[in-house]
Every structure is written in structure tokens, then in C-alpha cells.
Amino acid sequence: MGGNLGFQACAERLPASQQPAVKQVAIRNLTVNDPAECTQSFTPAYIKVHFGSESKCVAGQRSPSPVKTVDVTNISGVANVSATARIVPNGGPASGKPFSARFLYENGRWMQDTLDPAS
């Protein structure tokens, strides 16, 4: 609507060049279990909701992931601010079920902030 009124928003749409980084975080978070992910790829809000604490996140990252591949589509957002994507894991108990994920750009990298069943 703003573009139709002759002005542009302060934020810039997520450029195609940033979409691979968002996709990479989404895939890595579901297929690779590495305790470092708890501080490098998940926001504190994500850790609180999905693990309860950072120490529980670290403990949860020590077992192999049953997810083999992840389909990531519909990536959109605001450059260097936030992004959303549709995620479908292949393998594990949620195999084939769609999820909606949100990512925040913090400290120069994309971090996963939410992961909810898609509506």
C-alpha cells in the first residue's frame, strides 16, 4: 500500500541473496545436533519455549537427529531484521508435517526464533 502512495518503508524486503542463509539455518537446526547451535542458531525465546533452558538445549543437542532432510519454502521477510519460512521435515516423528518458522537477524547472523505447526 505504501508504494502505491508514493513512499517507501524504511525497511527493505528480504533480498534473494539473504534467503540461502535463512534456509541453511532452518535445515541445520533440524538435521544437525550440535550443542553450539544453542547459542549460535537459536534465540533465547526459542530456547525457553522448546527446551526450557540453555542447559537443557545443550543436553538435547547431544543425540542424533532423526530428521534426514528439510524442505524450506516461502522465505520472506525484511533485510537484516526478520524472516519467515514454511518448513517440512522429512524423517522423525514430525515427518511430512508443515511448520511455520520465524528467524531474527542478530549479531550478524540469522537465528531461529519460533517453530510452530503451520495453520
Three cell numbers at 25?
539455518
Q: Report d(CA 77, CA 13) in Å as an integer.
A: 6
Domains by residue range for the chain, with CATH: 14-113 (3.10.450)
pTM of the complete model: 0.86
What percent of the chain is predicted at pLDDT more than 70? 91
Q: Report d(CA 26, CA 75) in Å as an integer.
A: 11
Q: Report d(CA 4, CA 14) in Å as an integer.
A: 20
Q: Report d(CA 46, CA 62) in Å as an integer.
A: 18
Q: Per-residue pLDDT averaged across 76-101, rounded?
A: 96
* pLDDT at residue 17 tops 90: yes
Comparison of pLDDT for 114 and 119, the residue scoring more: 114
Q: Report d(CA 59, CA 81) in Å as an integer.
A: 29
Assign 13 to helix, strand or coil: strand
